[in-house]
Structure 1
Amino acid sequence: MNTYANKKSAVESMLDVALLMANASQMKAVLTQGPAFTFYTPLIILLSISLILQIVVAILLIFIVKWNLNDTNMHYKLSILENVSTALVFLIVVVNVFVTAFGVHGPVNKE
């Protein structure tokens, strides 16, 4: 059972890293466009929230993986951490839906 939980957490961590890289790339695109971009401030705020939440989830997943699932004394704490991490992942998805709605475009060439 512990091996399954560790593999599941590892896969979640890899997906978190992929989303973290995508958000960092989007942040770079927004910063490159500068404050003249229509949704500059909302996108900076949303991307910052997403990045911070992703880091928090990654830290939670590290704790979930490190604790022994076979120890019955830890089940309650692990359950709470898993519920919190699931809620945070849902929040990350919602924030990224708004990031997509506002639209992050590559830099505009001014020729």
Structure 2
Amino acid sequence: MSTSTTGSREHAGENIATRQMISLDFNRYATIKSVAEGMLDVALLMSNATQMVGVIDQGPQFKYYVPLIVLISLSLILQAVIFALLIFAAKTNVNEVDNQKRLNHCNKITTLLVGTVLLINVFITSLETQEKNS
């Protein structure tokens, strides 16, 4: 096969990939991504609310009562902030160049907060497991 044929096929593949990228609506993608993250956030929110009720039912004599109340409350607050950031991201048009820097910054903050909530919930789970084992 000649190099001109190979080069022509590679060039044709690049054109197809470029056309697919152009036809991809980044705003729709970002909105769907935000909605999916929001649904996961709602599931964790419900889990934390259930954990909070369980800790409150056990009362102040519960060994890890104060740390769990603080951690669960912090997790719930951060989840509310994440939810607000996701709504902002979903409502903002990512195709507008003026919005892209702000959305990128919002995405980084949201990712950092999601990681923080993850770590907090690891501690919550470990404290609850320790209490059940003792």
TM range (shorter): over 0.9
TM-score by length of 1: 0.93
- Give the 4+ runs in structure 1 shifted more than 3 A: none
Distance across 2 between alignment mates of 1:4 and 1:66: 12
Aligned length: 106
Task: Measure how far apart 1:71 and its partner are.
Answer: 0.2
Residue ranges of structure 1 left out of the alignment (5+ in a row): 107-111
State whether structure 2 residue 118 is matched by structure 1 residue 75.
Answer: no
State whether structure 2 residue 117 is matched by structure 1 residue 92.
Answer: yes
RMSD (Å), alpha carbons: 1.3
State whether structure 2 residue 27 is matched by structure 1 residue 27.
Answer: no
TM-score by length of 2: 0.77
Residue ranges of structure 2 left out of the alignment (5+ in a row): 1-25
Q: Which structure has the highest helix share of the two? A: 2
CA displacement, residues 39-84 of structure 1 (integer Å, 9 cap, x when unaligned): 0000000000000000000000000001001101110000000000
* Higher RCO (C-alpha 8 Å, min separation 6): 1
Equivalent residue, structure 1, for 2:78: 53
Percent pairwise identity: 47
Distance across 2 between alignment mates of 1:100 and 1:25: 13
